[in-house]
A and B are shown apart, each in its own frame.
Chain A
Amino acid sequence: MNVKTPSRLEKVLAAGQLAVTSECGPPRGSDPEVIINKANLIKDYVDAVNITDNQTSVTRMCSLAACIRLKQMGLDPVLQMVTRDRNRIALQSDILGAASFDISNILCLSGDHQSFGDNPQGQNVHDLDSIQLIQTVRLMRDEGKFLGGDDIKRPPQMFVGAAANPFADPFEIRVSRLAKKVKAGAEFIQTQCIYNLDKFEEWMKGVRERGLHEKVYILAGMTPMKSAGMAKYMKNRVPGMDVPDEVVKRLAGTPKEKQAEEGVKMCIEDILRLKEVEGVAGFHIMAIEWEQIVPEIVKEAGLYPRPDAA
C-alpha cells in the first residue's frame, strides 16, 4: 500500500510491520508537564500516541493542545476527535488547526454520552457522526475541499482512523459496520479492549471473509487489568465491554498484591496470541493511567525495538 500522508504510523503499517500505538489522557488542569511526562514514559516503545478527547465526557485539557505538545517533542500524535462536542464548523476548524502543526493522524469517534461525565446537564452536538467525520477528513485531505464546497489552501495531511467494537451488539452487523467505516474512508482501526479473544477471532474471520483486512489496518486494542476489581467493573459496568468470567476468575484467584503483575502477564499472552491472527496489523495499548507499564508489555510481547520510520 502506498503512503499518502507524513504519518509515522502509516509508514510502519505500510512497511508491513506490526505497529504499536498507545494513548495518554490529558490532565484535568493546564499543566503541560503531565502530558509530557506520560509521553516520555512510552515514547521509545510506540509508533504513535493517541490523545483522548474528553474521554468518558469528563472535561480535560483539549486533545489538540496535548497533541501539539507531543508533536513538539518529536512524537507522532493521533488526534482523537469526538462529534459530541463540536459541530461541523468546529470540527473542520480544529482539523485545520491540527494540520497547521503537522499532526498527521486523526481518530474519528462519536464519543461517550455526556451523561457519563462531569456535565450531564450539557447539550450534545452530534451534527455529524463518526462515519461522517471520517468522510469529512477524507474530503478535506483528498479533494482539498471543505464540506461547504470551498477549496482549502494547504489541505490537512492526515492518516484517518476509526474505532471498532467487535463486542458491542448486535454482533451480526459488527463486520458490516467496519465495512461502512472502510467505505467512508477509514485507513486504520483501533478496536475496543479485547478480553474475549475467541469472539475477536470470530469477528476477524468475518473481516477476512470480506477482505476488509486488506483495505484497512486493524490495531487490536489491549488494556492490562490492574486488579480483579477493575475486571469486575469493566465486565459489569462498562457498556460494550466483553470480559469473560475466566479473566475475572484468574485475577480474583491471584493474591491482591500480585494481581497487577498477573494482569500484565495476561495482556502479554493475549498479544502473543493475536500476533498470529491474520489481519491484525498491530496493537493499541491503552494502559489507563498506567502508562509506565507500556514499555514492559511492548518488550515482553516481542514488539521492541520499534522500527525507525522517520
Chain B
Amino acid sequence: MIVADRKPVEEIIEQIKDHDNILILGCNECVTVCEAGGKKEVGVLASALRMHAMKAGRDVKIDEVTLERQCDHEYLEEIRDRIDQYDAVVSLACGVGVQFMAEKYHDMPIYPGVNTTFLGATEKRGLWTERCQACGSCILARTGGICPVARCAKRLLNGPCGGSSKGSCEINREVDCAWQLIIDRLKALGKLDEYEEICPIKDWSTDRAGGPRKVVREDVQL
C-alpha cells in the first residue's frame, strides 16, 4: 500500500490560516490502514484545528468527511454538491488523492494533510517499512523476491557493497542490508549460484527518469 505519515499540526495550521470554512477530507484506503488519513485521523485533526481556532477567538467552521477513495472520480463526485460551502480542503489522502482533488475541483484550494512516504507494508502496528519504488520494470525474479532498488541505500543491482556488516547497511545498523537478505533468500531457494550472474545495466526510463508515467490498457477501455 501507499504509506503516509501525519504532517505536523503546526504546518497544517499555517497552511489554512486564511480560511474560515474548511473541509477535512479523509480516505478509506491506504492512509486508513497506516493510521495517517482515515476517519479517525480526520476527527483528531479537525478537533485540534477547531480548538486552535477557538482559542484564538476565531469563528472557523471545520467539517469532516471521509471518502471511500480519493483516487477515483466516482468517490470524489460524492462531495460535489457540498464543496461550495468551503473555502479550502485539507486532504488526508496520499499525494495522489490530493492531486486528484485539485484537478477535479479546480478553483478550490487543497492542502495536503499528510506526507506521502513510500510503498510499503505493515510489519506490525505502528511500524511500516518500504518495499517498492515502482521503478516500472520489476527485477524481483532475479533477486530472490527482495528489491535492491527499494531496499539498498545505493540501489545496487550487483551488491552488496563493502559496507555490509553483520546483516546491516552501512548507513544505519537498524537498516537491513538488502543484499544480505537477497543472498539469504537465494541460499534458501538453492539458487546461490545465480548470484554470480551480472545484473545488466537497468533501463531507468520506466522509473521517474522517463517523466510522468502512465499505464494504458486499451483492452479494458470502453
Contacts and interface: CB of A to CB of B under 8 A. Distances in A.
Contacts, number: 93
Nearest to A136: B201
Contacts of B75: none
Interface in A102-147: 110-113, 115-116, 124, 126-132, 135-136, 147
Taking chain B's interface residues, is the majority helix, strand, or loop, or is none over half, making it mixed? loop
A113 B160 contact: no
Contacts of B198: 131-132, 135, 180, 183-184
A253 interface: no
Interface in A127-169: 127-132, 135-136, 147, 163-165, 168-169
Contacts of A164: 162
Given A88-B201, A168-B164, A170-B180, A131 B158 contact: yes
Contacts of A165: 162
A240 interface: yes
A115 B154 CA distance: 11
A142 to B, nearest CB: 16
B186 to A, nearest CB: 9
Contacts of A277: none
Place the interface of chain A in its size category: 35 or more
B1 interface: no
A112 B159 contact: no
Contacts of A113: 153-154, 163, 170-171
B153 A163 contact: no
Interface residues of B, number: 29
A239 interface: yes
A93 interface: no
A240 B170 contact: yes
A170 B195 CA distance: 13
B170 A112 contact: yes
Interface in A173-229: 173, 176-177, 179-180, 183-184, 192
Given A131-B198, A169-B160, 13 more contacts: A88-B201, A110-B156, A126-B154, A129-B158, A129-B159, A131-B158, A132-B198, A147-B201, A180-B158, A192-B162, A240-B161, A240-B165, A240-B170
Interface of A: 83-84, 88, 110-113, 115-116, 124, 126-132, 135-136, 147, 163-165, 168-170, 172-173, 176-177, 179-180, 183-184, 192, 239-240
